[in-house]
Amino acid sequence: MPKPFFIKKSDIDKIIRIDHAGELGANFIYKGQRKYIDKSYKELIHSMLIQELEHLEYFEYALRKFHVRPSFLFFFWSNFGYFIGALSSKLSVKSAMLLTEAIEDVIEEHYQKQKNFLQQAPQLYQELNSKISKFQQDESEHKHIATDFDINKSLLSKIFFILIQYVCQTSILLSKYI
């Protein structure tokens, strides 16, 4: 007989804390991009920001519902997010889209791992799993929008892409505990 699987509250706390911190960072990234991006792309960035605001609102609700403390690194996520978003847009539209593609690639995989984990007890966390599924689709859409820019993957672009992915993965790890 298979061993029963139990999801601990601390595991749910980590999911919500990480996702809240990530969506907070994403909001500031898009705000930084929107401020400095070429005018012809402001509407595109704004539409992605609106989706990220929806994600953040849900995770703020989830923090309260599940009595989870947010990440103590709020100041870092908001300031670094805005800085990297603004910097990428100041460099070029393609730099902004390369940043988006790198981050959304990591987040899409991150959400998939969470969905797989939550499938262990789908009846208990149906709403959370449903929201994560919807948000994963939104993030995937953002990634595909970014890849449509046909960014030249020069050596410098590849290094930037890998560096951003590493920062994103490290942020996920830090948000789990801090």
* pLDDT tens, position by position, 71-130: 998 888 899 999 999 999 999 999 999 999 999 999 999 999 999 888 887 677 888 888
> What is the dihedral angle through the alpha carbons of 156, 137, 171, 166, rounded to the nearest 10 degrees?
-30
The model's pLDDT over 49-66, given as tens digits with 9 standing for 90+, comes to 999 999 999 999 999 999
Alpha-carbon gap, residue 108 to 131, rounded angstroms: 13
Alpha-carbon gap, residue 166 to 146, rounded angstroms: 19
> Topology of domain 9-177, per CATH?
Ferritin (1.20.1260)
Cβ neighbour number for residue 70 with a 10 Å cutoff: 16
Total length of the chain: 178
| Domain residue ranges in the chain | 9-177
**CA atoms in the 13 A half-sphere facing the CB of 71:** 27
The model's pLDDT over 121-157, given as tens digits with 9 standing for 90+, comes to 767 788 888 899 999 999 999 998 888 887 777 888 8
Q: Report the pLDDT value the prediction gives residue 104, as an integer from 0 to 100.
A: 93
Alpha-carbon gap, residue 117 to 11, rounded angstroms: 10
